[in-house]
Copies of this chain bind each other. A is one copy, B any other.
Amino acid sequence: MKRQSAQARWEQRTQRPLLALAVAFAVAYAVPIVDDSAGYSLTELCTVVEWVVWGSFAVDYLIRLALTTGRKEFVRTHWPDLCAVLLPVLQPLRLLRLVSTLLLVGRRARMAPQIRLTTYVVGAVIGLLMFGSLAVLSVERESPHGNIRTLGDAVWWSFTTMTTVGYGDHAPTTGLGRMIAVGLMLSGIALLGVVTANIAAWFISRFEKDDVEERRQTEAIAALTEEVRLLRAEVARLAAPEAAARAGTGAGGSLSAD
């Protein structure tokens, strides 16, 4: 079912370059947060890289829109992409740029035909864990009452949040930090659902011995068909000499045994 339209070809060809850009974004986002004492020029460079990556994905969206056949349909079904493209233009905050780039990367990744749901969710969880830690660290480090001040604490907090353990030894205190936390919690629930569903589906596929029964049925029908075929051949053979005999007495019909 490969719809090899111009759009599909474009999506397939740009897949790898866009993945490389996503990795570049991850590095550019992480460096100024991890290396707190990074110089002005390095921070500037990272911001430029972030904008370039976001811009590439925005351009990718526009090209796909241009290549598609049903444009209204495309805009309607890809409205999160459109939001992700427009958001950083309206509000050039760093966190918004992160969210919109993550969204664009995630939407593109889902298009890759060889990626299965499990791979996608596990990848998304790891990505959210990483960026969630960095984002919370950058937000909470500046809060006066914040208790997430090192990268180690941030990663540890991300894990306790996503697995819904929630010790409470570290917790975000700012509004932005809490919004990131809610995102991590919800993706944690999705992760749990995928893990459970995978195991359940595997279990059930083993429980079901239907295939055996059904294969037996198909075999039974095949045997029956063979039986009927033999019968038909016999009737045909039976008919042939009779026709000949009848031809001899002048009372024959046109009998053709195919």
Contact = CB atoms under 8 A, between A and B. Distances in A.
A196 B197 CA distance: 6
Interface of A: 117, 152, 156, 159-161, 163-169, 171, 175, 178, 181-182, 185-186, 188-205, 207-208, 210-211, 213-218, 220-225, 227-232, 234-246, 248-249, 251-253, 255, 257
Given A165-B185, A200-B201, A211-B213, 6 more contacts: A161-B165, A163-B182, A201-B203, A201-B204, A220-B222, A238-B239
A179 B257 CA distance: 80
15 contacts: A152-B178, A156-B178, A163-B185, A167-B168, A167-B171, A208-B208, A223-B225, A230-B232, A234-B235, A235-B238, A237-B255, A238-B239, A238-B255, A240-B253, A241-B251
B234 A234 contact: no
Contacts of A237: 239, 253, 255
A189 to B, nearest CB: 6
